[in-house]
A and B are shown apart, each in its own frame.
Chain A
Amino acid sequence: MIRRTPFSAPGVFNVKKRMSWVLGVMFLAPALITGKLFYLQLFRHEEYSSKAERAIYNYLAEDRVRGGIYDVNGRSLAESVRTHSCGIVKRYVKDKDATFTFLAETLNIPKKQIADKWNQSKNFFFVAKRIKPDVYMQLAQVRRQDLGQGMELTPEYERIHPFGQSALDILGAANSKNVGLSGIEQMYNDPMTQDVSKKRAKRSGRGEIIYDRSLKEKINVANVYLTIDSTAQFYAERALNNAVEKLKPQRAIALVQNPNTGHILAAASYPVKDGQSLAFQFTYEPGSTFKSIAVATAIDSGTLPPNASVYMEGRNWEVTKGFVIHDKQHQKDYLTLAEILQLSSNIGAGKVALEIGAKTLFSYFKAFGFGGKTDVNFNGESKGSIPPYNTWTKVDLVTKGYGYGVSVTPIQLITAYSAIANGGILMQPHLVDRIVYTNGKVEKLSKPVKIRRVISAQTSQTMRELLQTVVEVGSGKRAQIKGYNVAGKTGTAEKLSQEGGYGKRSHVVSFVGMVPATKPEFVILVILDNPEVYAFGSTGAAPVFKEIAEPLLAMQGVAPDQTDFE
């Protein structure tokens, strides 16, 4: 028997209840949709409207402004000046001859030149670029007249360097559209530039750009201030140019650093190439300027006392079979550490390195900052090379003591000498002092940063005294400056020849020194790579050091540290 539910059973056949359910469902859907729309409109409005706008529109900038580059004292080194380029759209020109005559007279160019360009181009050609404001004004006045029909004046920029070629290797280049291409210009391109006069635009079906409305924006670009002092830079460049003229080196570098802050005050290179500073990118075997590092390591590690004497092996030392080092510059059987530096003895420095041992010497090289980038923040900085100590042979260890078998950069060497000069602390070198935005915000980038203590204050003092004797009675005599104690070291390193081995006629001469030696204010490094006229560190580079240091000391008003000079 089938049991049926009665037709009028309550809860199943209640029409009113059913209707209210259906109505509820019918209202719920629009309510949910309305709720979602409210949510999107109220909370997600910006996100979706900008998405939609991006899909339809583009923002095109008519212009791009760019900040300047200045030296530490605010002297302009690079600045953009607004100019215009003048072009001709042929099909809109009404009176060809009159337009040619007007342009030739105004722009001071031959009429024939314009006519030639007209004949060679299809529809558009540039008549002149980098038009100065006065001339632009004359051209702009006829734009609405028949004479100006077809003439297009487009804004562009000229990057002007008021000090000419000075520091151009650091500054780098920026193009007429205000885009940085190399050097500091490229590195700080983003904060230095801003697109302005932006217009909302969309493309029509035919591909034409239809401009909509302009956007208002505040200009806020960065001006970059370097630690470079333009006067110090001038002295360094002048001295370097004189040396280049006299000795004709392939390359030349002069670097000036404040040892107490790590600030680079001048960095001159020869030849000058936009954005390619040899001070940070050049690598070389330092030769004898590296002996100070070995001697400092020996004293600081307690391997040798400052007054130690080293046996000279009859001035012909056979390190291993077939590898002999000669000292021809003296006749002594023993040399003190001071004399090793004064006479630049390879045997002495090699024996010192051997006494120290590979592991300790390597760890000091690393502590001084060799074999790694200094993070001075310059594009393309090299890191040099210090091979791991466990691969060194006895010969490797000995030769590294006098600066062969390692490659360093000028910025590494000067920073290491700054550590010797400032009491033993390796300072972070700085090239950019601060970034100043046009809205007033200042970002200081050159606060002195102590990386680590490399040698003790006592070793630093001893080293300064030893290096002072190099200039007083040793190979660095030509770096002497009246009234000031100078400490420094010469270097004459033979270069690896392409055929293998070291070439006698191909060498790097250098001098690195600090002044005043009792409390150094400047550390200066001079490098002349492969001079055509044969020279040594003592005859070629030391005089350049003096030529840079003298006016620097006078300019900064550094008091003499000698009391008995006349």
Chain B
Amino acid sequence: MKYVGWLLIFFVFAFIMISIHIGIARSGRVISQLQNEVAIKEARNQYEELEISRLSSPQEVTQFAEQNLGMVEVKPHQVIVLEGTK
């Protein structure tokens, strides 16, 4: 009976340890997947930001304004600079 008690304690301890180990392994995998997703989303975000940069480049803006909106470039003497706006 004495040994059975010790065995029981051992199995309970082993069960707890294995459960913890499996839990950690699972969490590790989830963390790794999430980290991977974060990295990919960050990379995708960087692409989007670069696309915004490209679209806001002086060349793109000028082209769009002239071709799609029919705007023309202002001559410098037509610009009125208000005090305190510079």
Please give the residue numbers on chain A whose beta carbons come within 8 Å of chain B beta carbons, in ascending order. 75-76, 79, 81-82, 132-134, 136-137, 140, 160, 162-164, 166, 230-231, 234-235, 238, 481-484, 550-551, 553-554, 557-560, 565
Question: Please, how many angstroms separate the alpha-carbon atoms of A136 and B77 in the complex?
Answer: 53
B 7-34 to A, binary, CB cutoff 8 A, 1 in contact else 0: 0000000000000000000000000000
The reply to whether A134 and B44 form a contact with Cβ atoms under 8 Å apart is yes
Q: Does B74 contact A (CB under 8 A)?
A: yes
Contact partners of B59 in chain A: CB under 8 A: 163-164, 166, 234, 238
- B residues lining the A interface (CB < 8 Å): 36, 39-41, 43-44, 46-47, 50-51, 53-54, 56-59, 62, 73-79, 81, 85-86
Given A133-B44, A136-B40, A483 and B50 contact (CB-CB distance below 8 Å): no
On whether the beta carbons of B76 and A483 are closer than 8 Å, the reply is: yes
> In the complex, A367→B49 CA distance in Å?
47
Q: Is there an interface contact between A75 and B75, defined as CB atoms closer than 8 Å?
A: no
Residues A76 and B58 in contact in the complex (CB < 8 Å), given A133-B43, A554-B79: no
C-alpha gap A551/B77 in the complex (Å): 10
B49 (CB) vs chain A CBs: closest residue: A76
Determine if A81 and B50 form an interchain contact, defined as CB atoms under 8 angstroms apart. yes
**By the criterion CB–CB under 8 Å, are A230 and B76 in contact?**
no
Q: Is the CB of B86 within 8 A of A133?
A: no
4 shortest interchain CB distances as A-B pairs: A483-B77, A553-B76, A162-B53, A234-B58
29 cross-chain CB contacts under 8 A: A75-B56, A79-B46, A81-B47, A133-B40, A133-B43, A133-B47, A134-B44, A136-B40, A162-B53, A162-B54, A162-B57, A163-B53, A163-B54, A164-B54, A164-B59, A166-B57, A230-B58, A234-B57, A235-B58, A481-B76, A481-B77, A482-B75, A482-B77, A550-B73, A553-B76, A554-B75, A554-B76, A554-B79, A557-B86
Main secondary structure of the interface of A (DSSP, over half): mixed
**Cβ of B85: which chain A residues have Cβ within 8 Å of it?**
557
Given contacts A163-B59, A230-B57, 18 further A-B contacts (CB under 8 A): A136-B40, A137-B40, A162-B57, A163-B54, A163-B57, A163-B58, A166-B57, A231-B58, A235-B58, A482-B76, A483-B77, A484-B76, A550-B73, A550-B76, A554-B74, A554-B75, A554-B78, A559-B81
Residues of chain A contacted by B51 (CB below 8 angstroms): 162
Interface core residue of B39, B76, B77, B85 (most chain A CB under 10 Å):
B76
Instruction: For the complex formed, measure the closest distance between the CB of A3 and the CB atoms of chain B, giving whole angstroms.
Output: 88
Docked complex Cα distance between A230 and B79 (Å): 21
Q: A133–B45 Cα gap in the complex (Å)?
A: 10
In the complex, which residue of chain A has the Cβ closest to the Cβ of B36? A140
A514 to B: closest C-beta gap in Å: 15
- In the complex, are the beta carbons of B50 and A76 less than 8 A apart? yes
- Beta-carbon contact of A560 and B77 below 8 Å: yes
Contact of B43 among A82, A559, A560 (CB under 8 A): A82
**A558: which B residues are within 8 A, CB to CB?**
76, 81
Nearest-CB residue, chain B, relative to A132: B47
Q: Write the chain B residue with the least CB distance to A79.
A: B50
- Nearest to A232 among chain B residues (CB) is B58
**Shortest CB distance A25–B (Å):** 58
- Shortest Cβ distance from B2 into chain A, in angstroms? 45
Residues on B with beta carbons closer than 8 Å to the beta carbon of A550: 73, 75-76
By the criterion CB–CB under 8 Å, are B77 and A81 in contact? no
Bound-complex Cα distance A238 to B57 (A): 13
> Closest residue to B37 on the A side, CB-wise?
A137
Structural contact, B46 and A81, CB atoms closer than 8 A: yes
Smallest Cβ distance from A254 to chain B, in angstroms?
Answer: 15
Q: How far is the CA of A236 from the CA of B53 in the complex (A)?
A: 20
Partner of A160, one of B50, B56, B57: B50
Are the CB atoms of B46 and A560 closer together than 8 Å?
A: no
- Please give me the residue from chain A that is nearest to B85 by CB atom: A557
The smallest beta-carbon distance between A365 and chain B, in angstroms, is 34
- Give the Cβ gap from A519 to chain B, nearest Cβ, in Å: 14
Chain A residues lying within 8 Å of B57, measured Cβ to Cβ, are 75, 162-164, 166, 230, 234
Residues of B within 8 A of A557 (CB): 79, 81, 85-86
Which residues of chain B have C-beta atoms less than 8 A from A160's C-beta? 50
Whether A560 and B54, one on each chain, are in contact in the complex, defined by CB atoms closer than 8 angstroms, is no
CB distance from A478 to the nearest CB of B (A): 16
Report the bound CA distance from A75 to B77 in whole Å: 27
Q: Across the two chains, which residue of chain B brings its CB closest to A75? A: B53
Smallest distance from the beta carbon of A323 to chain B beta carbons, Å? 46
A562 closest partner in B (C-beta): B77
**Which residues of chain A come closer than 8 Å to B41, judged between CB atoms?**
133
Q: CA separation between A427 and B54, bound complex, in Å? A: 34
